[in-house]
Chains A and B, each alone.
Chain A
């Protein structure tokens, strides 16, 4: 019976964490598969091209810039609101406390789109009231987004401050005031140092919440886009492994920071005095001894560096040509009975086009309709050379699965010379 219970617990834990981590692992694997549709099976070739594609996506990069600007403003504003809100909570007269607490925590439960809509409508009214035009600050996407996000992110910050303030001894402030400190001095020298860890964690929480916010921002941004909104548009209008590549980067960074944090806190537990200095004094070996998280972090860093180096040398062209050849064979087998004249050209084309350099990534993206508008970088240039005449291309489209469109027009690869 006891064994059965234990087995049940282990099975449940495995299932739960499988559900939690499985999707992320599968998504991460798809970032390295050369298939243009993000999938694990059938596995085609190991590739790093999706990372390159991501780095060249100007909309994502520009979205990141707006995200950073908005994030900084939101952090500052939310910390100011949240700190004031937390300080007032302990001092407001008791009868108003419950109502006050309900009001300042309500934005957490409010649907994000309601906050976004309300913010837009309110500032529209304000603009009407003061007679400001459409180009005024009241319609500016960054301004509205910062205010909309701050409404609930300030509540998060306030909760962080409240939990820290519960352990604060008010007597310390009184003592400082009795000894002749001004209010500002007492705040700066007593309360602020005590709150420092809370300020740090509230800032991290605020930035992360701002970073990943979608529901509010999509209404308030106007014609701007943040990183998250750009990603959402990309995902809605087509699945692309470069989004998996992005996830790999974010997951890796998260894991690495979590390990680093764990390593540092393990170390700090053992060296209570001044943990940071003892890292340098105790030497590197002292830091790693008996600290598996630190060791894992180092291992991970080595893995990242090794992968990056490997990626710069790695060339999947041969493998991709092989996969293409196999696909064409299958295509041919299935297509011949119905429409032989359509299926033969692709098989014949490679022979004629063999001399063209087999740089697949060059025009790999050229035929993907999404990329045409986004990054018309150097890809259109080599594209015309191997492109079959228009009618024949139609044949491609009919025969191939639309998801494979990207690979389809790559007869430049010489499978059968």
Chain B
């Protein structure tokens, strides 16, 4: 369809004022707020980190040095590879997958229960109980886990009191606090998409499977999960991306020796004040995580369009 006739029908349908507002607002949003900043970041990531007076000068040329640094470290690095950053990235990546799986296992039953089993007032109360923690600030939720898992926190006190252990376990150093906090932070984002998907499943299908003599696990495996696949993918995608990009929880709950990749980016920006390398690292995080999500969707045969909240 040619653009002009589309624009013509668009204007006749909305009028100049309203049509103008829609076009202008969407253009500003997409261009100035979403797309151009990403392009600017990409552009920055391919440049040297120059002082302002040199920018635009002869030295201001495109380079891969920031990406090379991520892989190989500083020039002449005897180790061969930049093991520190690569290890942090790998650990963040695997931890984010771990948190996603944990959330899926934890949330699938509750989503099924709320969508198909719970009725009336109970369902409503459970819904409120699910949403209330999400209204509390992310920082405060992380703080709650610091309080619980601290050396003199309630878990250590109970364990010592019961006599299971003699000296407090350092949950923060062992990253237990971090994984628990991250899992906790994204519970609702996993429950909602799965709940939405399962809710539209006709209960008669489950009934029919049961009448045919299918055990409960086969009902889930063959009926509910295939039906809820878009919701599950959607939830997993959101949780994985947010967990990999989390900054507050690792800063508050992370152990002293374990960094999250976002913290490296944060330090590159605020401590090394190297915007180009920070931009390159942000691009790496975004691109690899996006590619991973797309790969997973290909493997599990879910189309992008099926996802939506």
Contact = CB atoms under 8 A, between A and B. Distances in A.
A236 B251 contact: yes
Interface stretch (B77-85, B129-137, B163-171, B205-213): B129-137
A150 interface: yes
A9 interface: yes
A103 B251 contact: no
Contacts of B30: 103-104
A86 to B, nearest CB: 10
A120 to B, nearest CB: 8
Contacts of B23: 84, 88
Given A30-B147, A150-B33, A254-B135, A114 B286 contact: yes
Interface string A74-92: 0000001101110110010
A20 B144 contact: no
Chain A interface SS verdict (over half): helix
Nearest to B238: A109
A232 interface: yes
A363 B14 CA distance: 66
A84 B142 CA distance: 36
A211 to B, nearest CB: 8
Contacts of B1: 93, 95
B109 interface: yes
B140 A88 contact: no
Given A21-B129, A258-B131, A219 B269 contact: yes
A159 B18 contact: no
A232 B248 contact: yes
Contacts of A183: 14-19
A289 interface: no
Given A106-B34, A151-B33, A117 B138 contact: no
B309 to A, nearest CB: 6
A84 B40 contact: no
B282 A118 contact: yes
B262 interface: yes
Most-contacted residue by chain A among B37, B252, B304 (CB, 10 A): B37
Contact of B136 (A26, A83, A247): A247
B233 interface: no
Contact of A235 (B157, B246, B252): B252
Contacts of A322: none
B245 A235 contact: no
A117 B269 contact: yes
B124 interface: yes
Interface in B1-35: 1, 6, 10, 13-19, 21-26, 28-30, 32-35
B137 A122 contact: no
Q: Which of B33, B157, B262, B289 has the most CB of A within 10 A?
A: B33
B38 interface: yes
A34 to B, nearest CB: 15
Contacts of A239: 143, 146-147, 150
A108 B290 CA distance: 12
Interface in A285-336: none
B113 interface: yes
Contacts of B308: 105, 159
Given A122-B41, A214-B248, A215-B245, A80 B113 contact: no
Interface string A91-129: 101010010011111111111111101110110110010
B94 interface: no
A108 B238 contact: yes
A117 B141 contact: no
The CB with the most chain A CB atoms within 10 A, among B138, B145, B304, is that of B138
A85 B33 CA distance: 13
Contact of B40 (A118, A182, A247): A118
A354 B9 CA distance: 87
A16 interface: yes
Given A12-B109, A21-B133, A39-B150, A91 B143 contact: no
Contact of B132 (A117, A215, A255): A255
A194 interface: no
A110 B140 CA distance: 23
Contacts of B286: 110-111, 114
Nearest to A292: B121
Interface string A201-243: 0000000100110110011000000001001100110010001
Given A16-B110, A23-B147, 14 more contacts: A17-B129, A20-B133, A38-B147, A42-B157, A81-B33, A109-B290, A111-B289, A113-B245, A113-B266, A124-B40, A159-B308, A183-B19, A187-B18, A247-B137
25 contacts: A13-B113, A16-B109, A23-B144, A24-B133, A37-B152, A91-B14, A103-B34, A113-B282, A121-B40, A147-B32, A150-B33, A151-B29, A159-B308, A182-B15, A183-B14, A184-B15, A212-B138, A214-B248, A215-B246, A235-B143, A239-B143, A247-B136, A247-B137, A250-B136, A254-B135
The 9 closest A-B pairs by CB, nearest first: A111-B245, A183-B15, A84-B25, A118-B37, A122-B37, A122-B40, A23-B144, A27-B144, A118-B41
